Amino acid sequence: MSTAGSPERVQPPRPGDPSRIGPYRIIGRLGAGGMGTVYAGLTAEDLRVAVKVIHPAQAEDPEFRARFRREVQLSARVQGPCLVPLLAADPEAASPWLATAYAPGLTLNQHLAEHGRLTGGTLYAFATGTAQALAAIHAAGVVHRDVKPQNVILTPAGPHVLDFGIARAADGTSVTRTGVLTGTPGWISPEYYRTSTAGPEGDVFAWGALVAYAATGRLPFGGGAPDAVAFRVMSGEPDLDGVPETLRDTVVQALAKEPGERPAAAAVAERCSRLLAAQATQVLAADAGREPTRTGTLVTSEWHIPAADDPAWRAPAPASRRRTLLAVLVAAAVLGAATGGVLAFRGGGHDTQAGRRGAGTHATGAPAGASAAPRADRTAPTSPAATPVGEAPSPSDPRRIPVPVDPLAGVSDPAFTRAGDESEPTSDEWRTSVGASAPGETAVDRAVRADTTSMLATKDMDFMTPTVTFDKRAQTVFVTGGPVSQLPDDDREVFVRAGETAACTALAHRLAEDPTAWSYGRYAVVWKSYDGDTEASVLGFGEATDGCLTRIAGQWQGDEEGLATAGIPSSDKAEIRVADATDKAVTAEWNARIAQGDGLAPFGGDDPVSLGFDPVEKAAYVWARDTNEVLVGRAQRSNFQDAVSTTVCPKLTAEYRADKTWNYTRWSVAVMEANSRIPEIIASGECPV
């Protein structure tokens, strides 16, 4: 039972079907099978997902539930090209479920039946993409064990291998019942028939059969009774008539009877990539007017499978230009972090149970080939903080170089001509954007990636490595993230904020330095649901000509987004140290004012005051849980604001002068009243340094 999608249109829900499963709104069905039902779901952002729900009878079987739990654990480990990422799961629910990104398209079986065999660049892209998928699976220490045409979806963006329902770990921990034959006749390796051995070599054998089937439209070992098929697999030769000569040698080696004679999936993927590149070169030679294709996009560029949209899916709503974080998200982030007075380091990185740093995420959650920045206590900022009021820029200290608020002021004929354009960047513009080529683009690419990673690293989120691309016609720079399995919404929001600020800062400086030649002034942050996603969502956008920080009447102002980010625990040792000392100082100052008899009272509860850092706008946020309603009056709030500002600024200033990589110079104060889950920001400011 596949979770990735269905070749059929979304079917309407039936009586008794759930309206929600976990965080997903259910709008219909994608299919059903012996294990359960696959529902069509939508996230809060209207992204499409497929949700598999196990039948109650199966869920009551302890052995089956254990197998399903193992399936979830294995699927969370696997991320890579041409794979459908696991987004979320609850194997302990009364009706266990798991959700994946939705991959639209026909299975290989159905495509061959309706449209015939694959040819040309599409065939080579199919061979390359499926081999890359198996290489990623094996790199995560997992064996698929059921590679077959029904488990490959031909999406408009490329082939996608799915369904890990009978996968097993390479260490031998099996998901299947002992003694039960798994797999499908014709797609089972000779050694599995003989000894029930199912290693990575068996997946490579099935890959060879899969490519032969795609190229010829015929089953390489024929059909008929399972025993007859098994005999031909173990002792007969495959039917490869029609497989291109350049591809045949690799297919023959993959179909070797002895597993030790087969190449590894990674080697197969490398060979097929070279063949695909050669195929693309031949096409270019025949079409001299066509632009060169980058190696990383060969599969998608040479893939020619049309999209088949289903109007039953509701189209995603357009992203806003500057999103405000939902109040419930703010409350959840603040309440989650407020269990202690200080935000503490989360040992071992993000919650591994949530799959954020699983072994199969390329270690970064970025597209294959990307690399994460080295972890450090803090990465020096590449975009400076704004110069505090009254301070002249210091050429020896990059932190004091201001970000231009209006870089095109006084420029009569700027190269960037879309200033003031409120229209949202389109998916077509994102798809046609390319990597940096000119020196200026390369510099911006480097600055945006380094700055974004620097911000994310303080929250232990630098696994979300950004990709930066440029669309010259749209005068837009795109910062793309994803896919990352089971990524919480608040983590993705931090990526969006960091990407927006990094892009805005880099572009503002470039516009100010070379306004008549530098044409990029717009930016957009895009998130992919899966590798090869052609309809990725634009989650944030803007332009670098109207300021990169939140300012009201020229003064920096904290906001709900920054407060939510500050509520995420820090992994930076200096931040933890300063937060601890500052939190204690604020509490001591408030207690001293209470003792002076100014009509003030304690907040109540344990550790009512919390402090966290927002690395995006370089601000410290202090918030109080006012369970005793001691800050209901204007005078009391003003007193608390003063207690915070007079305490926080000396701490931030001292650290700023002692540590050249410390760039927190702003502060904001929030109060959460007893009967409210929504913090209210009551004051913000900047510290003189």
Catalytic residue annotation: 146
- CA-CA-CA-CA dihedral for 215, 221, 224, 227, to nearest 10: -150
In sequence order, which ranges of 310-419 are alpha helices (DSSP H)?
A: 327-337
The length of the chain is 689
Q: By 3-state DSSP, what share of the chain in percent is helix, strand and coil, each rounded to 5?
A: 35, 15, 50
The answer to whether the beta carbons of residues 385 and 487 sit under 8 Å apart is: no
Tell how far CA 351 is from the center of its chain. Answer: 15
Rounded CA separation 668/685 (Å): 6
DSSP-assigned states of every residue in 280-294: HHHHHHH-TTSPP--
Which residues are CB-contacts of 475 (< 8 A; sequence separation ≥ 6)? 416, 417, 418, 519, 520, 521, 522
CA distances from residue 465 to 72, 224, 337, 370, 542 in whole angstroms, order as listed: 25, 49, 25, 7, 21
Taking residue 588's Cβ as centre, other Cβ atoms within 10 Å add up to 12
Taking every pair of Cα atoms in the chain, the longest distance, rounded to a whole number of angstroms, is: 94
CA 248/CA 332 separation, integer angstroms: 56
Beta strands 619-626 and 666-673 are parallel
The answer to whether 129 and 162 are in contact (CB under 8 A) is no
Where is 32: in which H helix or E strand?
strand 24-32
| Cβ–Cβ < 8 Å for 448, 502 | yes
Instruction: Name residue 540's beta-bridge partners.
Output: 525
594 vs 532: CA distance, rounded Å: 60
Residue 594 near residue 475 (C-beta atoms within 8 A): no
Amino acid letter for position 27: I
3-state secondary structure at position 475: coil
What is the C-alpha separation between 511 and 404, in angstroms, rounded? 9
